[in-house]
Amino acid sequence: MSNAEHLANVMVQAFIDAVEKGVDLVPVVADSTSTAKIAPFIKQFPGRLVNVGIAEQSMVGTAAGLALGGKVAVTCNAAPFLISRANEQIKVDVCYNNTNVKLFGLNAGASYGPLASTHHSIDDIAIMRGFGNIQIFAPSSPRECRQIIDYAIGYQGPVYIRLDGKALPELHDESYRFVPGAVLTLREGEHVALVATGSTVHEIVDAAALLADAGIQAKVVSVPSIRPCDTKALLSVLQGCKAVITVEEHNINGGLGSLVAEVLAEGGVGAVLKRLGIPDGEYAAAADRGWLRQHHGFDAAAIAAQARDLL
């Protein structure tokens, strides 16, 4: 297992490697070169990056045009501004027109912490799930991130990749292979299922360890692939558990919690479900990550406490 690594650095290295292999990849940024940590790419390939300035709608429209011209267009900027400001362009120019654009939502969730709700992206999965024709991924570790990006670059069509804004430690060994749609069981347990996506997978791994100390066996399930999602596989891993807890740095509506609720309900499974994240009708607190997750009740200790209450 390697040390923690920032997922934007993983992204930039994936871009460099793709261009070196002959992929005609063009990053488009909205004055977000520092957010994207893209300096090493610019140094290696001067003239290949397009910077439209602080104009997210132009960024997405430009990317769609580049894709129509045969390029692999990748947009790199902060998730809240991508999702909110360029909403119509994502829907029409990218999704509806099926252009080969890969949208990277950087510093997603509440990564920006004290910069507060203008900079938090707690609705991006819900919005993207509402759009047709776009694949949605949220990696939880550097290795998974790299494999998702490599897959996305080779895939023909729209992709949204939600990247956390903090360095994340590795969860997967070298044998790990990302498969679109796959649901990963990281730990077996029959008492309660803990399900998470993106950076919160680390919280459920830690929560399961706390529960094990109390004699409760928690199944740990990571869902890096929101769309496509192998819902049959998800249903089968949840089926034997009395209770299910979903965890995401996102509003509890429209994201992973909603996906799991739909799968359980449509499968006729009567497990108790608790959705953890930013509560219904609320914004994320303006605070650093540790305090924020504790405050909203989805750090490892709070998840373990919820599991004990449910059981």
Q: What is the pLDDT of residue 3?
A: 79
pLDDT tens string 167-223: 999 999 999 999 999 999 999 999 999 999 999 999 999 999 999 999 999 999 999
pLDDT tens string 232-268: 999 999 998 999 999 999 999 999 999 999 999 999 9
* CATH, range 7-162: 3.40.50.970
- C-alpha span between 292 and 110 (Å, rounded): 8
**Which residue ranges make up each domain of the chain?**
7-162, 184-310
Q: Could you give phi then psi for residue 258, rounded to 5 degrees? A: -65, -40
- The residues that bridge with 187 in the sheet, in sequence order, are 220
**pLDDT > 90? residue 1:** no
**pLDDT > 80? residue 18:** yes
Q: What is the pLDDT of residue 270?
A: 87
State what percent of residues in the chain have pLDDT above 70: 99
DSSP 271-303: -EEEEEEEPTT-PPPSS-HHHHHHHTT-SHHHH
Helix (H) or strand (E) holding 246: strand 243-251
**pLDDT > 60? residue 17:** yes
DSSP 11-66: HHHHHHHHHHTT--EEEEESS-TTTTT-HHHHHHSTT--EE--S-HHHHHHHHHHH
Nearest CA to 36 among 82, 67, 70? 82
Nearest CA to 129 among 90, 77, 183, 97? 90
CA dist 302 → 247, 276, 311 (Å)? 11, 10, 14
Domains 7-162 and 184-310 share a fold: yes
Q: What is the pLDDT of residue 2?
A: 53
pLDDT tens string 50-98: 999 999 999 999 999 999 999 999 999 999 999 999 999 999 999 999 9
Architecture of domain 184-310 in this structure: 3-Layer(aba) Sandwich (3.40)
Question: Is this model's pTM higher than 0.85 or not?
Answer: yes
